[in-house]
Amino acid sequence: MKILVGYKRVVDFNVRIQVKPDGSGVVTDGVKLSANPFDDIALEEALRLREKGITTEVVVATIGPADCQAHLRNGLAMGANRAIHVVTSDAIQPLTAARTLLKLIEKEQPQIVILGKQAIDDDCNQTGQMLAALWNRPQATFASRVEVTGNAARVTREVDAGLETIEVDLPAVITTDLRLNEPRFIKLPDIMKAKSKPLETIEFASLGIASGDHLKATSYAPPPKRSRGVMVKDAAELVAALKTKGLL
């Protein structure tokens, strides 16, 4: 069995995002970039399934510019067997990402595809669902527990009403939630070993994918700054202040 893991690079979650002065995007120059936290969880789960003997190979894949290779080496250091880099300098929206991953599925023939439920840069939460539809295979989203037995996966999902457990036939798409696991710490010897692991590069243009990017961001703006708080003497003064602001 083979597992394909989507492994997107994003601005690190500890970085305070700054909007460019001209409103054309966010500042990324000199900013720390790292793996999407949900994708680290996806990779960790794939590695745990390999350690249980359920799968024999874990392949990480990313879509991005040429300098994403250092990011993929991080996934290899974490424990993936191989990496695939689809090279493009364009920003990729969910439908195009799903179509790209489908091409990799056709090439690699994995039994399980594991993605983070969403990326923290756009919070779309769409790629996994779109990929399952294009692949015409089952999906199990927001997974907080995964058990694979034979040709089926039993997945506990986090839903609004609590937890839901479903069983899907393989091949299938699984997307990960935060409580599924805690990704392992990468050790220096693993970083050195990752340098010799296979990393395949594929030009995005060579895949012949029709773009599904129909949305265009026209401008970016930071959230408004919070105004200073106002002290009130009693409830009546609070109600009066809220009425003045048109909130009541």
Residue range 118-170, pLDDT digits in tens: 999 888 999 999 999 999 999 999 999 999 999 999 999 988 888 999 999 99
Query: Average pLDDT of the chain?
Result: 92
Is the Cβ–Cβ distance between 35 and 56 less than 8 Å? no
Could you tell me how far CA 41 lies from the centroid of its own chain? 9
Per-residue pLDDT at 211 exceeds 80: no
pLDDT of residue 184: 93
Give the chain's domains with CATH numbers. Answer: 2-244 (3.40.50.620)
Q: What dihedral do alpha carbons 108, 154, 181, 10 form, nearest 10°?
A: 40
Per-residue pLDDT at 212 exceeds 80: no
* DSSP-assigned letters across all residues of the chain: -EEEEE--EEE-TTSPP-B-TTSSSB--TT--EEE-HHHHHHHHHHHHHHHTTS-SEEEEEEEE-GGGHHHHHHHHHHT-SEEEEEE-SS---HHHHHHHHHHHHHHH--SEEEEES--TTT----HHHHHHHHHT--EEEEEEEEEEETTEEEEEEEETTEEEEEEEESSEEEEE-GGG--PPPPPHHHHHHHTTS-EEEEEGGGG-PPP----------PPPPPPPP---SSHHHHHHHHHHTT--
pLDDT of residue 245: 83
Per-residue pLDDT at 213 exceeds 80: no
Of 22, 6, 20, the C-alpha closest to 124 is: 6
Q: What dihedral do alpha carbons 203, 172, 80, 175 form, nearest 10°?
A: 90
pTM, 2 dp: 0.85
Is the Cβ–Cβ distance between 83 and 60 less than 8 Å? yes
Interval 95-117 mean pLDDT? 95
Buried b (16+ CB within 10 A) or exposed e, 41-80: bbbbbbbbbbeeebbeebbbbbbbeeebbebbbbbbbbbb
* Phi and psi based region of residue 147 (left: phi greater than 0; alpha: psi -120 to 50; beta: remaining): beta
Per-residue pLDDT at 228 exceeds 90: no
Per-residue pLDDT at 104 exceeds 90: yes
Of 132, 147, 140, the C-alpha closest to 176 is: 140
Share of the chain above pLDDT 90, in %: 68
Is the Cβ–Cβ distance between 155 and 166 less than 8 Å? yes
